[in-house]
Amino acid sequence: MTTTMERTAPPSSKTSTGAAYRRLRFSVRGLVIALTVACVWLGLTMNRVRRQHGAVEWIRSQGGIVYYDFEWQEESGRLREDAPPPGLVRSVFGADFSSRPLAVYMSGYFFTTRGASYPDNDIVDITRLSQLPSLRYLSLAGTQVTDLAPLAALTQLRELDLSATRVQNVSPLARLPELRKVYLGPRVEQTAIDQLRRALPNCSIIPYASPVS
């Protein structure tokens, strides 16, 4: 009896070349997509870093203080006693690349043995603060600020100090759903206070109290 053995024809070089080409094409396409995503992410990140760094530098040029997330305890609203040392990324690229500002003091007052003193402070325009949407705490006490419209961008803000300011219109604060405590200045009328309390029922709104002389 004769046994017929079936043999499978080897793939032609043309077929092998076509499969290799398709694999290469998909590999190149995947690489292009990955590079595009990386470039978009890097562009967005650098744009954020540029805006944040510019705002931080402006605050410092005005005599203000900025505390980043590695310095500030979000839960307690206080400085960390054991702030971690800078890592490689922060050391190389700076704090604005990997960290977010959580607290800013633009205050124009200080305390003496006779009570609070309010020196001249020429900060009026706070538009640059709108570039720091990560802020949780902000003090504008003792400044010449009157327009709070830029603060509408700070949707994560939880505490705001407006003591001894010239602010009268506090309606922009109604757009800050996370706000939990506000210290108001002497020029805010009771009607505005009542409206703000209705708009922010979970916020403790503290009217201005004159410092003891």
Task: For residue 183, give both structure tokens.
Answer: 């210290």
Distance, C-alpha 155 to centroid of its chain? 9
SS3 of residue 94 by DSSP: coil
If you average pLDDT over residues 14-40, what whole number do you get?
67
Indicate if the pLDDT at residue 53 is higher than 60. Answer: yes
Residue 137 belongs to a domain: yes
Residue with the bigger pLDDT between 158 and 210: it is 158
Q: How far apart are the first and last CA of the chain?
A: 122
If you average pLDDT over residues 165-188, what whole number do you get?
96
Residue 81 belongs to a domain: yes
Residue 10 belongs to a domain: no
CATH code at position 103? 3.80.10.10
- Name the one residue in this structure whose structure tokens are 């040392």: 85
Mean pLDDT score across all residues of the chain: 80
Minimum mean pLDDT range among 25-29, 40-44, 149-153, 198-202: 40-44
pLDDT band for 122, please (50, 70, 90 cuts): confident
Amino acid at 12: S
Could you tell me which residues come within 8 angstroms of residue 167 by beta carbon, excluding any fewer than 6 positions away? 145, 146, 148, 184, 185, 187, 188
If you write DSSP's letter for every residue of 133-153 in order, what string do you get? TT--EEE-TTS-----GGGGG
Residue 96 belongs to a domain: yes
Q: What's the confidence (pLDDT) of residue 76?
A: 72
Q: What's the confidence (pLDDT) of residue 77?
A: 72
Residue with the bigger pLDDT between 54 and 72: it is 54
Give CB contacts under 8 A, 24+ apart, made by 42-51: 45/97, 49/93, 49/94, 49/96, 49/97, 51/131
Structural domain count, the chain: 1
Residue 12 belongs to a domain: no
Show the CA angle centred on residue 104, arms to residues 101 and 107, nearest 5°. Answer: 170
Q: What's the confidence (pLDDT) of residue 114?
A: 46
pLDDT band for 191, please (50, 70, 90 cuts): very high
Q: How many residues can be counted in the chain?
A: 213
Residue range 71-117, pLDDT digits in tens: 888 777 777 777 666 665 555 556 777 789 999 998 755 444 444 45
Indicate if the pLDDT at residue 182 is higher than 60. Answer: yes
Share of the chain above pLDDT 70, in %: 66
Highest-pLDDT range among 6-15, 49-58, 83-92: 49-58
Residue 2 belongs to a domain: no
Q: What's the confidence (pLDDT) of residue 84?
A: 63
Amino acid at 90: R
Share of the chain above pLDDT 90, in %: 49
Q: Which domain holds residue 31?
A: 18-206
Q: What's the confidence (pLDDT) of residue 188?
A: 97
Residue 8 belongs to a domain: no
Question: 10 Å Cβ neighbour count for 37?
Answer: 10
Residue 164 belongs to a domain: yes
